[in-house]
Amino acid sequence: MNRKLFATVSGVVFCASAVAHAAVYDNVYWVGGSGEWTGDVSATPEYATGHWSANPNAATGLPAKYVLGRNDGIRTNQAVGNGGYDLDRVPCGGTFACDATHGAGTQLGTDIFISGPVTVTYNPNNQFLSGDDGLDRFGDFRFSSDVNLPGTPTLNLSNGAIVDSKTTFGGDADGMWSRLDMAELNVDNATFRRTGDRPNGFVGGAGIFSSFNEHANNVKVITLTNSGRIENDGQWWFGVSGSNAAGENPANTRAVMTINNGHLDLRGGDAYELDNDNLPLRADLAFIYDWKADADPTNDEFFAINFTGPGDITVQGDEAAPIDGDTSTGGGGIRVATNTAVTGASNYGNDANIQRSYQDLWNMGILRANNKSGLTGDNFNTYFTTTNSPGQSNYKLTSLLPSPPPSLKNRGDFNNDGVVDGADYALWRKTLNSTTNLQADANGSLNIDTGDYIHWRNSFGAPPGSGSDVGSGAVPEPGTMMLMLFGLANLWALKRR
Amino acid 371: pLDDT: 96
pLDDT at 71: 64
All structural domains of the chain with their residue ranges: 3-9+412-496, 31-139, 173-404
pLDDT exceeds cutoff 90 at 366 = yes
- Mean pLDDT of the chain, nearest integer: 75
Output the pTM of the full model.
0.84
Single-letter code of the amino acid located at 441: D
Most confident range (mean pLDDT) of 350-354, 452-456, 478-482 is 452-456
Q: For residue range 45-75, what is the model confidence (pLDDT) as tens digits?
A: 666 778 888 889 988 887 776 677 666 666 6
Highest mean pLDDT among 31-45, 113-127, 373-387: 373-387
Query: What's the confidence (pLDDT) of residue 221?
Result: 97
At residue 326 the predicted structure's pLDDT band, cuts being 50, 70 and 90, is low
Distance CA 386, CA 285 (A): 16
pLDDT in the model for residue 82:
36
Q: 177-186, 404-413, 456-465 — which one is most confidently predicted on average? A: 177-186
pLDDT band, very low/low/confident/very high, at 468 (cuts 50, 70, 90): low
pLDDT at residue 39 above 50?
A: yes
Higher pLDDT, 350 or 97: 350
* Tens digits of residue pLDDT in 212-253: 878 888 999 999 999 999 999 889 999 988 766 667 788 889
3-20 and 450-459 helices, crossing angle to 10°? 70
pLDDT at 264: 98
Among 203, 72, 63, 209, smallest CA distance to 140 is for 72
Q: Using the predicted structure, report yes or no on whether residue 84 has a pLDDT greater than 60.
A: no
Mean pLDDT is highest, among 77-86, 88-97, 232-241, 264-273, for 232-241
Which CATH homologous superfamily contains domain 3-9+412-496? Dockerin domain (1.10.1330.10)
To which H or E segment does residue 457 belong?
A: helix 450-459
**pLDDT above 70 (res 5):** no
- pLDDT of residue 391 exceeding 80, the answer is yes
Distance separating alpha carbons of residues 279 and 337, to the nearest angstrom: 9
pLDDT, greater one: 467 or 391: 391
Write the DSSP string, 476-494: PPHHHHHHHHHHHHHHHHH
Rounded Cα distance, 396 and 335, in Å: 15
pLDDT for the residue 340: 53
Of 401, 434, 221, 224, residue with least CA distance to 308:
401
Q: Tell me the helices (H) and strands (E) count for the chain, helix number first.
A: 7, 25
Cα–Cα dist 191/347, whole Å: 34
